[in-house]
C-alpha cells in the first residue's frame, strides 16, 4: 500500500468514526429533538479548536456477540478545545453507539481527558447521554465507573468540573455528575435516578414515570441535584459557556476579570427606600442584587430550589464574585435544611476556586418545627457555619435588615472571619426580635400584671419593653460599637463600597491549620 493509499485509509477511517453509530442512529437521535455528541461539542467549543483524542479506540469485549459489534470511538467523543479562547477538556457520550453505554474502553477515554485536565490545570466538561453500564462487560464496566469517580474526587477543588445531562443518566452513572461542581439538565429530554421506574414498581409497588422520578423539574425543585435547567440543548450549551466565564482555570488562579463598562460609583437611589417601614413586610432581594452588580447581570444557581436563599455569580468592576443572599419574599428569608445545604455547597465551591463572596443578609432565624428538627436542621445549619468559617477567600458582608440569633452567626459574621462587614441603617442585629425578647425578659412581670387582672397594663408594659429593646438593638450601632460591623453605609452607595472592599482584599492571604481535611457535618 502506497503512502497516498494509507492517507486515504486514514481519511476514510476518520469519516467512519465521525458517523458514530451510523446515519440511521443519528437520524433517530435527531427525531428525539437531541443533538449528537459531536454536534454538542461543536456548539460548545470555539470553531476549529477541537482536538480529538482516541478516535480509533474500540471495545475489547467478546461476550454475547459483542465481537461482531465494533464502532470507532466506542460510544464517547473526547478531547480538548477552547471556550472564548480558554482551554477546556471535554467528553460527550454518544447515544448512537450502543446507547452510549459505558464500557471498559469508553471509561478509559474519559479518564484520559480527566488526567490531562489535571496535568495542565483546565476545566473538565462532561456531556452525559448514556443508557448506563454496558451489561455485556459486567464487572469491567463497573470498574470503569469507579475509575471515573476516583478522578472526579481527586479533581474536586482542583479544576472546575461541569456535568451536562443531555439524555438518560441512571444507576451508577449518576454519581459522576453528583461529584462534580455543577450539573445542568435539559427539560423533557434528560433524567437522573439511581433506580428506574421498573424496579421501583417491582419493589415498592409505586407507579412512576421517568420524568416524575428523575426529570429536570424534579431535581431543580425537590432534590436540588441539578444546579441549572435549560428548555433545550441550545440554551444548555450557552449556559455552560456562561458558567465557564465566571470560573478560573484551576484552584491556583484568580477568577477571570473582564473590562467593566458600568461606573463603579453608580448609585441607585431606590435602594434607600427599598426596606419597608414594617419589619414584617417583604421586599425583593433580586432588586438589591441587580442594583449593585455590574450591568445588573446575575447568573443564579438553583433558582427553583430553596428559594428562601439566593446564590449565584455576578461581577463587581469586572471581577467574578459569588453572591449569597437571604430572600425576604420566601419564608421571610429564614434558613432551613435545604437553604443551609444549598448555600454551604456554594460557599465551599467559591472558596475552592478563589472566588470572593458577597453576602447580603436579611435573616430572622432558622425555621422552627419538628419537620426541620427531624430532618437535622442542626447539622445542615452547621454546614453553612462550617463553610463560612473554613473559607479563606475575600468575604464582604452587608446586613440590610434582620440578622438574629444563630442565623446571624452563620451568615458570614465577623467572628467567622468576615473581612469587611457593613450594615445599612435599617439593620437589626440582635439575639432575637423585639417581641420575642421582651416576652422572655419580662415574662414574670407581665404574668404578675395579668394575674392581678391588669391585662391591658400587661400589654402596654410589654409594648414599652419592645420599644426599649428596639432602641437598643434594632439598629446597627450596637454591633458597630464593638467593631462587629466595620461601617454603617448608605444603601444607594452599596455598589461602590463593595467594589472598594474587594479591591483592598484582592491580595488577601489567609491559611487554615495544617491537616489532612476537616470533618464537616454531613
Please give the Cα distance from 359 to 312 (Å, whole number).
11
Asked whether 499 and 316 are in contact (CB, 8 A), the reply is yes
Asked whether 322 and 343 are in contact (CB, 8 A), the reply is no
Cell of 320: 467574578
Query: How distant, in Å, are the alpha carbons of 66, 300, 501 from that of 393?
Result: 52, 20, 13
Q: H or E stretch including 422?
A: strand 420-423
Cell of 39: 454536534
Its pTM stands at: 0.93
Cell of 116: 490531562
Please give the Cα distance from 45 to 89 (Å, whole number).
10
- Name the stretches of the chain with pLDDT < 70: 59-68, 70, 135, 137
What is the pLDDT at residue 67? 64
CB atoms within 10 A of CB 450: 15
Query: How distant, in Å, are the alpha carbons of 83, 86, 125, 127, 165 from that of 237?
Result: 11, 16, 11, 10, 11
Query: How distant, in Å, are the alpha carbons of 15, 68, 329 from that of 276?
Result: 65, 72, 12
Task: Give 34-100 as a DSSP string.
Answer: ---HHHHHHHHSPTT--EEE-TT------GGGGGG---TTTTEEEEEEEETTEEEEEEEE-TTTGGG
String of b and e for 367-394 (b: at least 16 CB within 10 Å)? beeeebeeeebeebbbbbbbbbbebebb
What is the pLDDT at residue 3? 84
Cell of 72: 470507532
Cell of 266: 453608580
Q: What is the DSSP letter of 294?
A: G
3-state secondary structure at position 158: coil
Cell of 83: 471556550
pLDDT in tens, 491-506: 999 999 999 999 999 9
Asked whether 208 and 195 are in contact (CB, 8 A), the reply is no
How far out from the chain centre does Cα 168 lie? 21
What is the pLDDT at residue 21? 77
3-state secondary structure at position 399: strand
510 by Cβ neighbours in 10 Å (0-12 / 13-18 / 19+) ranks as: exposed
Looking at every residue in the chain, the average pLDDT score rounds to 91
Please give the Cα distance from 2 to 369 (Å, whole number).
80
Main-chain dihedrals φ then ψ at residue 97, nearest 5 degrees: -110, 110
What residues have CB less than 8 Å from 21, skipping those under 6 apart? 71, 94, 96, 97, 98
Task: Look at phi and psi of residue 75 and say left if phi exceeds 0, alpha if psi is from -120 to 50, else beta.
Answer: left
Amino acid at each position: 500500500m502506497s503512502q497516498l493509499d494509507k492517507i486515504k485509509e486514514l481519511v476514510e477511517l476518520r469519516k467512519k468514526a465521525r458517523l458514530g453509530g451510523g446515519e440511521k442512529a443519528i437520524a433517530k437521535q435527531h427525531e428525539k429533538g437531541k443533538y449528537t455528541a459531536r454536534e454538542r461539542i461543536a456548539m460548545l467549543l470555539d470553531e476549529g479548536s477541537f482536538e480529538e483524542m482516541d478516535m480509533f479506540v474500540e471495545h475489547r469485549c467478546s461476550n454475547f456477540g459483542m465481537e461482531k459489534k465494533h464502532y470507532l470511538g466506542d460510544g464517547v467523543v473526547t478531547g480538548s478545545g477552547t471556550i472564548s479562547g480558554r482551554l477546556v477538556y471535554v467528553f460527550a457520550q454518544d447515544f448512537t453507539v450502543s446507547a452510549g453505554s459505558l464500557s471498559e474502553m469508553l471509561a478509559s477515554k474519559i479518564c484520559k481527558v480527566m488526567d490531562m485536565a489535571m496535568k495542565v490545570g483546565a476545566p473538565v466538561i462532561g456531556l452525559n447521554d448514556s443508557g448506563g453500564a454496558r451489561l455485556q462487560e459486567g464487572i469491567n464496566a463497573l470498574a470503569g465507573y469507579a475509575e471515573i469517580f476516583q478522578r472526579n474526587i481527586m479533581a474536586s477543588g482542583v479544576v472546575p468540573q461541569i456535568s451536562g445531562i443531555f439524555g438518560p443518566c441512571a444507576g451508577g452513572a449518576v454519581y459522576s455528575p453528583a461529584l462534580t461542581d455543577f450539573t445542568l439538565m435539559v427539560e423533557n429530554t434528560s433524567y437522573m435516578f439511581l433506580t428506574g421506574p421498573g424496579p421501583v414498581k417491582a419493589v415498592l409497588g409505586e407507579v412512576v414515570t421517568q420524568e416524575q422520578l428523575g426529570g429536570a423539574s424534579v431535581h431543580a425543585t425537590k432534590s436540588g441535584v441539578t444546579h441549572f435547567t435549560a428548555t433545550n440543548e441550545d440554551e444548555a450549551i450557552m449556559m455552560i459557556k456562561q458558567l465557564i466565564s465566571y470560573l478560573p482555570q484551576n484552584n491556583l488562579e484568580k477568577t477571570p476579570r473582564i473590562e467593566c463598562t458600568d461606573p463603579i460609583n453608580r448609585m441607585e437611589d431606590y435602594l434607600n427606600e427599598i426596606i419597608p417601614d414594617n419589619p414584617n413586610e417583604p421586599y425583593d432581594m433580586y432588586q438589591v442584587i441587580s442594583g449593585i452588580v455590574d450591568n445588573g447581570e446575575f447568573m443564579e444557581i438553583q433558582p427553583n430550589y430553596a428559594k428562601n436563599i439566593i446564590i449565584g455569580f455576578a461581577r463587581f468592576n469586572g471581577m467574578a464574585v459569588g453572591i449569597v443572599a437571604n430572600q425576604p419574599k420566601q419564608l421571610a428569608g429564614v434558613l432551613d435544611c435545604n437553604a443551609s445545604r444549598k448555600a454551604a455547597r456554594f460557599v465551599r465551591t467559591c472558596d475552592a476556586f478563589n472566588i470572593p463572596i458577597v453576602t447580603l443578609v436579611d435573616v430572622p432565624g432558622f425555621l422552627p418545627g419538628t419537620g426541620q428538627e427531624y430532618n437535622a436542621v442542626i447539622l445542615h445549619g452547621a454546614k453553612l457555619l462550617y463553610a463560612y468559617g473554613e473559607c479563606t477567600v475575600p468575604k464582604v458582608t452587608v446586613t440590610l435588615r434582620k440578622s438574629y440569633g444563630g442565623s446571624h452567626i452563620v451568615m458570614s459574621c465577623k467572628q467567622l472571619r468576615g473581612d469587611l462587614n457593613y450594615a445599612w441603617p435599617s439593620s437589626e442585629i440582635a439575639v432575637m426580635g423585639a417581641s420575642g425578647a421582651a416576652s422572655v425578659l419580662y415574662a414574670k412581670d407581665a404574668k404578675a400584671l395579668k394575674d392581678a387582672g391588669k391585662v391591658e397594663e400587661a400589654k402596654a408594659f410589654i409594648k414599652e419593653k419592645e420599644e426599649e429593646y428596639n432602641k437598643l438593638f434594632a439598629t446597627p450601632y450596637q454591633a458597630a460599637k464593638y467593631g462587629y460591623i466595620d461601617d454603617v453605609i448608605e444603601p444607594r452607595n452599596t455598589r461602590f463600597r463593595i467594589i472598594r472592599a474587594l479591591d483592598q482584599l484582592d491580595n488577601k492571604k489567609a491559611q487554615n491549620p495544617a491537616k489532612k481535611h476537616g470533618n464537616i457535618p454531613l
